[in-house]
Chains A and B, each alone.
Chain A
Amino acid sequence: MLLKQPLAFYSESLAGVDRDELQGKLIVIEGPDSVGRSTQVARLRTWLEHQGHAVLDTGMARGALAGKGISQAKEGNTLGPITMTLFYATDFADRLENEIIPALRAGFVVLTDRYIFSLMARAIARGEDRPWIERVASFALVPHAIYYLRAEVRDLLPRVVLGRGAFDHWESGMDMRFGADMHDSFVKYQTRVIHALDRMAKRYNFVIIDATKTPDQIFRELQRSIGKLF
């Protein structure tokens, strides 16, 4: 479902933000690890720019305040699940207030590779309380559209193996030791993440896109839908 009215906050309003000033469009691409989000974001950016739109693309842990701290913390072996969730929430808030909202004020199309939903899904997959993290993240703006690239874990596995060629510690949820090795833990953890995202789909009006289709098919589907926002 697409939103055409002015942007709103989920429930906590950020101080100093006049929603009527936000003239841009906020478009979210969500989905589990290795589902192909960044490929689509890159293509969409080029396409939107050809159409004459100014585009800001942003994604998790890329903020000026906390980005570095998060990657350093992930190199160590002490990062706990609640600490990680809140560190990512700090980064998200920083990018929302200092990148996304200023860009929306300036009339940009903001294309974000993940939003609060992955942050919440990862927390929920790690056993944290759903209402807790939903309320923590409730200062987010309701996007104009949220595209959920959906696939099953069995579809993600070949992408991991053929793509990077190895499992990632955090993408496998190894901090929680969901399984005996990286593969088992990956399967269990990503299943939980996908389940958590599925449960959000209706509540947050996700547009579900079948990510097992070819990248071209997915791109055309996204183009068709995003075209309706303007």
Chain B
Amino acid sequence: MPLLVPNRYRGKLIVVEGIDGSGKSTQLSLLSQWLRSQCFAVAFSEWNSSPLVRETTKRGKKKNMFTPVTFSLIHATDFADRLERYIVPLVKSGAIVCADRYAYTAFARDVVRGVSRRWVRNLYRFALRPNLAFYFRVPLEVAIGRILGGRNAIKFYEAGMDLGLSRNVEESFRIFQGRILDEYEAMIQEVGFHVIDATGSIEEQQQQMRDIVMRELGESLRNGVMRASAGDMDAAQTAARVL
């Protein structure tokens, strides 16, 4: 479905998606290091990280002010800011932008919160279409095991507590993530995800990602994409930043 804007620029956009605990951020970080080691200009963008919108999101979360629609819209605002100010100019200039979560996160999450599939897909129609979108498929229980084992307490909105699914945070998280997983699974064809089996070893998954990058983008990476000469490697390392 040609919903998003095709990327006609020199640079590339690579995104990862999956439920919390699918290991996508680890994999994207490894992939970007690998690309950087080949002297490509690599930039990074994270979901929900625009400084312009941060205070509003914080206020809404702290006071539980969000409804499904305002939650969806503020995340789209955050996304638009990163896209307009950061992602598009960098891709235009020939960089490879790696995004940890993209519009598809909203397609899954906001729909589970109760906005319609059609509405949220239209909302993100201005987004640049990624050159590659990886989806890390993981069974719910595996992901939950990773989350509960490693991280701090699950937050209110992260657990979907605003949906009133359960009074128990862990139980609510489980139901919420399960529904998000269903939405991701249902959009694989529609958005053209490259599915990675996220139960495999970290090394196996990374190898798969690199193979797909070379297969799908190999030729165009050699032409067009911005590269530092080997001597500029230090510069390439310092230039990389996170927004």
Contacts and interface: CB of A to CB of B under 8 A. Distances in A.
The interface size bin for chain A is: 20 to 34
A128 B65 CA distance: 29
Interface in A1-18: 12, 14-15
A66 B74 CA distance: 9
A98 B65 contact: yes
B65 A136 contact: no
A14 B69 contact: yes
Nearest to A97: B67
Interface stretch (A83-91, A154-162, A166-174, A220-228): A83-91
A94 B114 CA distance: 16
Interface of B is mostly: helix
29 contacts: A12-B115, A12-B119, A65-B66, A69-B52, A69-B53, A69-B59, A78-B52, A78-B85, A79-B81, A80-B80, A80-B84, A80-B85, A81-B84, A82-B80, A82-B84, A83-B52, A83-B77, A86-B77, A89-B73, A90-B70, A90-B73, A93-B69, A94-B65, A97-B69, A98-B67, A129-B125, A132-B126, A135-B119, A139-B69
A79 B52 CA distance: 8
B122 interface: yes
A98 B119 CA distance: 21
A86 B65 contact: no
Interface residues of B, number: 29
A186 B123 CA distance: 29
Contacts of A89: 73, 77
Contacts of A129: 125-126
A69 B119 contact: no
B149 to A, nearest CB: 34
A68 interface: yes
List 6 A-B pairs, minimum CB-CB distance, nearest first.
Answer: A80-B84, A69-B56, A90-B73, A86-B77, A83-B80, A83-B81
Contact of B56 (A79, A90, A98): A90
Contacts of A51: none
A212 B52 CA distance: 39
Contacts of A64: 65
Contact of A73 (B52, B69, B116, B123): B52
B60 A65 contact: yes
B64 to A, nearest CB: 11
Nearest to A13: B116
Contacts of A66: 56, 70, 74
Interface of B: 52-53, 55-56, 59-60, 65-70, 73-74, 76-77, 80-81, 83-85, 114-116, 119, 122-123, 125-126
Contacts of A15: 67-68, 114
A64 B126 CA distance: 27
A136 B77 CA distance: 12
Contacts of A132: 122, 125-126
A94 B60 CA distance: 10
Q: For A69, A89, A132, which residue has the most chain B Cβ atoms within 10 angstroms?
A: A69
A171 B180 CA distance: 41
A87 B77 CA distance: 6
Contact of B59 (A65, A87, A97): A65
A88 to B, nearest CB: 9
Given A65-B60, A139-B119, 7 more contacts: A12-B115, A69-B55, A80-B80, A86-B80, A89-B73, A93-B73, A136-B119
Contacts of B83: 82
Contact of A12 (B53, B56, B116): B116
Nearest to B56: A69
A206 B37 CA distance: 60
A86 B67 contact: no
A86 B73 contact: yes
A72 B60 CA distance: 16
A165 interface: no
A52 interface: no
Contacts of A79: 52, 81
Contacts of A85: 80
Contacts of A139: 69, 119
